[in-house]
Structure 1
Amino acid sequence: MMKYLYTLFLIFLCQGLFIKLYAQEKKYAHEIELKIKAVENNLGLQVRIEGEPNHTLKGRMNFYHVNGVSIAMIKDYKIEWARSYGWADSVEQRRVTMGTLFQAGSISKSLNGVGVLKMVQDKRLNLYTDVNDYLTTWKFPYDSLAKSKKITLANLLSHTAGLSVHGFPGYEKGDTIPMLVQILNGERPANTAAVRSAFEPGLKYQYSGGGTTISQLIVQDITKKPYDEFMWENVLKPMGMKNSFYTQPPPGDKQKLLASGYYNDGKAVKGKYHIYPEQAAAGLWTNPTDLAYYIIETQLALQGKSNKVLSQEMTKLRLTPYVHNSAALGVFIIKRGEQTYFQHTGADEGFVSQYYGSMEGGNGVVVMVNSDNGAITEEIINSVATVYGWKGFYNPLQRPKIITVPQNILENYVGEYKRKADDKFYIKISLVNGRFFYSEPGWDGFELYAGAENDFFSREFPVGITFIKDAVGKVIELEYHRGSRNEKFKKTK
């Protein structure tokens, strides 16, 4: 293994592929540098194609039009290395450094969970009390859909409150920013619907950034402090996240540290980033190093070896799924291979991020990018898992070589496919400049590649599509494959 890593290191030193790609603030021990090179040069796609060479970080950044990437790697309860690549702002020619701040999107909810549980630990809140007992500037308007059941903080943090409003698009610079009560009521200038019951609380899981926003208002109503101030004093600062903040819009003295957001095609977000008054749900600005401090503190607290914010008992509670089998209090608990992890993803306009922290052993990783395309984050994490021997974490689908299907045959597959004729959801298959694509309403989807004349797959997602013909050779339906899921969609157009 070391001989392989050393060979990779020499090859890429000679080629100089990354000399212009990253600004390296710190040089690590030789063995760690070899591991970093291995991570950079063996990205783990969801689908491995027979005979295809390894994918590099530089190549995948170009493929996805990703301007900047920042990574922090955790081993044995310590940050083993952190490295940054590309541009924080391509127009300003400002490189990503380890100090560059990214919008964390829904990872904000993980730290919010820590803040709320700190108040529970301090006996200022109860997880299982009706939220209206704490709200003073606004009350949740229960209706018949709640079936006389009350919403609790445990419901809000675990997305089991039965509430609407999945997420928030944020506001452009220059927009009038609504107050929290206006957001919760769906009143202008809010750009989202009112946060209301969709079904009774405690029944099942339904992701709701709207519910998290209610928890933000509870923190403000009880502490009588701005949310960002409370989170800095009680969560971020004690954990050592000295560069992070929830302040919206960002403070003027932080502007040169902020990455600018970009869309899938590489175009910049207007105004560089959006503003999120929904701070608890989507408002955290941070970097992978600071998030690594949060992960490590969580891991140490879970072992009873630290209590900078939460006790061991409260940390265990935070990492215990509630109602749903993976949704805990601000985090998701999943088993990958031989290890269980707490994790969360995040997506704001022009930003995507993801982290994993092991429940045992003190291992983890954080990846943040200033792009709307999040596929690269999982590919980097898969590479980390491979290089560091996280057994069973990365299990790609194996596919044969890509073949070329004649265009006249591809044209027969083009169209819309539905489960039922009156179904609003449909799969669209299109052919653009000789390239074959899958898409859905509201999602651009992905390119399809052929393993056989009627059998196609994605290189970024573990998805397969098989086209089915009738007795006379007419295409009548497609079969969608993902894991154990197999669904048939009839061709309607």
Structure 2
Amino acid sequence: MPALEDIGASMEEHRLKGLSVAVFDEYGSIATRSIGVRSATGRPITDTTAFSTASISKPVTALLCLTLAQKGLIDLDTPIASSLTRWQLPASDIAGSSGVTWRQLLTHTGGTSQHGFADYYQGDDIPTLIDSVEGRIARYDKPIEFLFPPGEGWQYSGGGYVILQMALEDRTGRRLEDLAQELIFTPLAMRHTTMIQPGQPGFPDDVALVHDGNGTQIRDGLPITPQISASGMWSTPGDLSAFAIAIQRGLRGETVGPVTPAIARAMTDIFSLKYVGGMGMPFFRGFGLGNTDWFRHDGSNTGVNSDLFASMEGGYGFVLMGNGDDDNTGPVFAEARRKIIDAMGWARRHPIADRPLSPAHEAAMVGSYKGLLYDLGLDYTIERRGGQLVIVSEFFSQFLGRDSSPIHHLGDDVFRIEDYPNLLHFEFDPAGRLTGITLTRPGSDAEPFRRPIDEMR
């Protein structure tokens, strides 16, 4: 993997112990590379070394729900309450909360609280799932609750996935880790992937231990996550690539193991452009790095991070996994993304033709915006550099290690940003003043999302 020949210098600078990478293309060709060590003992990371995937567990849980729905064992559009036996949804004054559905929890539109969870280690009192939703765990001192009516908003909720886990197990009478092994990991030949936790029979020996921001191993290095549906899976870049490729092949009409074309679409179809640039179930669809429309999910637990990018068309993508905290993996991952995308030439597969732009409209566009691409509080600036309009933002620094992305005028005041998947329709009044911006996504049935300019300036 020539693109990453010098990534070791960045790893050393940012105290990242180990990095494992897979790059795939043409719906099946997977190249892997592992750099660094599993732990302070110096044992090298290999292609079969599993990492805690953190929240990349959620797409697997979603696939499991869709598979059981296809078998007729559950209905994703019915209230999940009827499948819960060991615990019941909390009483709430929020309208419709008692009828929250499987699909709403899978898409983070269920209105539930509890973003993510702390890890545990051997010797700790390991909480049950009921302890988790009742708030008897680190990070939360009160039970899970509804924050808005189901279906009327979006908020990332690991707690919603814990409810899904309990419903799946209560409904089937089986552990989630066993269901995942039988219905997903074995059919997709994900031989180095498990939802079994450290200390349990069957947990693998070849794993990367977690490290803090100083590069110091955290306790025994093996985090235990009882909320496995949300963040308890362990896997390798190679196995996660196989998982992504199965979905990509489903998107072009094939059935691969449990992944049918209908399931692939259900996981990746955008239900709204309002949230994070576009959301699927549960993939993030608001990323366009390298002029590519991706389905993406990342994972971040204390001392470990992972990131999966897979193209909606073309069968390519990559997976990054590192056994370090956010400050260790963040800059290394940004450099790796940029170098992989550039080396593979993926952006050149989708050339963009520029059309002339009115100087008056360009002058009105140039300037600062709040939350222009993602309504997450980030600042954006449109400016001209070297004869090219660009958009400048911390977002691009965080994900690509460079601060800007070129903007192309497609005509009729519609613009495409090279590293963003939505089209931006800039709207002007008769005097040439900018009045609003509407987001649309080519090839998607998602409704356009418009924001008036006074919300952003």
Same fold (TM over 0.5): yes
Report if the CA contact (8 A) 2:117-2:138 is conserved.
no
Which residue pairs with 2:233 in the alignment? 284
- Counterpart check, 1:326 vs 2:278: yes
User: Which secondary structure does the structure 2 equivalent of 1:94 belong to?
Assistant: coil
1:80 to 1:226, Cα distance in 2 relative to 1, 3 A: closer
Residue-by-residue CA offset, 1:443-470 (whole Å, 9 max, x unaligned):
xxxxxxxxxxxxx999954899xxxxxx
1:227 to 1:254, Cα distance in 2 relative to 1, 3 A: closer
Residue-by-residue CA offset, 1:13-68 (whole Å, 9 max, x unaligned):
xxxxxxxxxxxxxxxxxxxxxxx22x114xxxxxxxxxxxxxx3011101110000
User: Which secondary structure does the structure 2 equivalent of 1:355 belong to?
Assistant: strand
Counterpart-to-counterpart distance in 2, 1:245 and 1:282 = 12
User: Which secondary structure does the structure 1 equivalent of 2:37 belong to?
Assistant: strand
Report if the CA contact (8 A) 1:165-1:192 is conserved.
no
Which residue pairs with 1:123 in the alignment? 72
State the Cα RMSD in Å: 3.0
User: Which secondary structure does the structure 2 equivalent of 1:117 belong to?
Assistant: helix
- Counterpart check, 1:83 vs 2:33: yes
1:250 to 1:258, Cα distance in 2 relative to 1, 3 A: farther
Report if the CA contact (8 A) 2:30-2:241 is conserved.
no
Q: Which of 18, 23, 26 does residue 68 from structure 1 map onto? A: 18
Which residue pairs with 2:126 in the alignment? 177
Higher CA-based Rg: 1
Counterpart-to-counterpart distance in 2, 1:458 and 1:118 = 35
User: Which secondary structure does the structure 1 equivalent of 2:248 belong to?
Assistant: helix
1:193 to 1:281, Cα distance in 2 relative to 1, 3 A: farther
Which residue pairs with 1:368 in the alignment? 321
Deviates more, 1:334-343 or 1:376-385: 334-343
Unaligned runs of 5+ in 2: 350-392, 404-419, 421-436, 438-457
1:179 to 1:253, Cα distance in 2 relative to 1, 3 A: closer
- Counterpart check, 1:390 vs 2:359: no
Amino acid at match of 1:40: L
- Counterpart check, 1:343 vs 2:343: no
Counterpart-to-counterpart distance in 2, 1:229 and 1:243 = 15
Identity %: 27
1:190 to 1:148, Cα distance in 2 relative to 1, 3 A: closer
Amino acid at match of 2:85: T
Counterpart-to-counterpart distance in 1, 2:132 and 2:224 = 14
User: Which secondary structure does the structure 1 equivalent of 2:262 belong to?
Assistant: helix
Report if the CA contact (8 A) 1:165-1:193 is conserved.
no
Which residue pairs with 1:442 in the alignment? none
Which residue pairs with 2:50 in the alignment? 101
**TM-score, normalised on structure 2?**
0.73
**TM-score, normalised on structure 1?**
0.68
Counterpart-to-counterpart distance in 1, 2:107 and 2:394 = 34
**Cα drift, residue 255 of structure 1:** 5.0
1:389 to 1:280, Cα distance in 2 relative to 1, 3 A: same
Unaligned runs of 5+ in 1: 1-35, 42-55, 394-455, 465-482, 485-493
Which residue pairs with 1:29 in the alignment? none
How many residue pairs get aligned? The number is: 360
**Cα drift, residue 158 of structure 1:** 0.9
Report if the CA contact (8 A) 1:157-1:328 is conserved.
no
Which residue pairs with 1:435 in the alignment? none
Amino acid at match of 1:391: A
Report if the CA contact (8 A) 1:220-1:227 is conserved.
yes
Matches within 5 A, 1:470-481: none
Q: Which of 84, 89, 96 does residue 135 from structure 1 map onto? A: 84
**Cα drift, residue 204 of structure 1:** 1.3
1:79 to 1:269, Cα distance in 2 relative to 1, 3 A: farther
Report if the CA contact (8 A) 2:129-2:226 is conserved.
yes
**Cα drift, residue 355 of structure 1:** 0.7
**Cα drift, residue 146 of structure 1:** 3.7
Counterpart-to-counterpart distance in 2, 1:107 and 1:460 = 23
Report if the CA contact (8 A) 1:102-1:259 is conserved.
yes
**Cα drift, residue 116 of structure 1:** 0.7
**Cα drift, residue 299 of structure 1:** 0.7
- List structure 1 segments (4+ residues) > 6 angstroms apart after TM superposition: 456-459
